[in-house]
Amino acid sequence: MKVVVAKDAGYCYGVERALRITLKATKESPKPIFTLGPIIHNPQVVESLKARGVVPVHSIGEAENGTIIIRSHGIDPKIAQEAKKKGLRVIDATCPIVKKAQHCAQQLIEEGYDLVIVGERKHPEVEGIVAYARNHALIVEQPSDLDNFPHNKRVGVIVQTTQPFEKLLLVVSKLLPISKEVKIFNTICDATTARQEAARKLSKEVDVMVVVGGKNSANTTRLAEICRAENTTTYHVETAEEIDPKWFSNSATVGVTAGASTPDWLLEEVVKRLEKINSS
């Protein structure tokens, strides 16, 4: 059985950066160290950070003193101000690509556009962007959300970094015929597209796909969906221990990929396990 790893797999730049900032904080910043929400959607990494004294909290209210780290998704700037007022040291690990989306939203509102955000209403990144738009934004999850959108408006469009480009196109093509003007910032992140394209391509070439990453990670789950959509048998695992050799009894090739929040060591452990199955 041949084991092939996808061309683009594992940590993206923003997640790697957030983790680097967090590890630096464990050495240099006032303790205790908190993260507002898990710093990364990967339970194994969150556990290993806990062992170094990094505790995820749901709200500023749970952090009495020390340092709080804002994760790569970003947050409502008012929350950061609140934390500073409490006397906490605030370290901003928002991904620069998400920051760009926040600033584009702010700019469009200041220029008087009606803002449309293509993305998931409940995603923390979108909640943060909405706050930068002073809560004046329509969130569009599906093009049908625009069915009652008023005509003849000057519309500004931005998009959650992890959304598919096709969805942005569908939304824009629905807005163009009914609007006076449409100004678009394509704020989609290349890292997501590259991982999705690599997973799609590989799943067409192999018998079985193994997708490695947190079950709570939207981008990892999406990779598994993309592979299944190619009619390739796909297993989503968090660790190498979950792998059952029976999955590969009739397979000549197995593809492996990992979400943007999956560390290299988890991906490598899975590859090693597959190679071991191969040789036994």
Give the interface with ligand F3S as residue ranges (CB under 6 A).
12-15, 72, 95, 97-98, 161-162, 189, 191-192, 260
DSSP for 157-173 reads EEE-TTS-HHHHHHHHH
Q: For residue 113, what is the DSSP state?
A: P
Query: Least CB distance from residue 13 to ligand F3S, whole Å?
Result: 5
Query: Least CB distance from residue 15 to ligand F3S, whole Å?
Result: 5
Active site residues: 125
**Choice between 98 and 212, CB closer to ligand F3S:** 98
Amino acid (1-letter code) at residue 30: P
**Choice between 97 and 130, CB closer to ligand F3S:** 97
**Are the C-beta atoms of 49 and 22 separated by less than 8 Å?**
yes
3-state secondary structure of 138: strand
CA dihedral 226, 97, 92, 219 (to 10 degrees): 0
Query: Least CB distance from residue 158 to ligand F3S, whole Å?
Result: 13
Query: Least CB distance from residue 278 to ligand F3S, whole Å?
Result: 31
**Choice between 73 and 174, CB closer to ligand F3S:** 73
Sequence-ordered list of residues with C-beta below 8 angstroms from that of 202, at least 6 positions apart, any chain: 4, 6, 7, 209, 227, 255, 257
Amino acid (1-letter code) at residue 33: I
**Choice between 123 and 174, CB closer to ligand F3S:** 123
In angstroms, the first-to-last Cα distance of the chain is 11
Tokens of 156: 């500004």
**Axis crossing angle, helix 190-205 with helix 218-229, rounded to the nearest 10:** 30
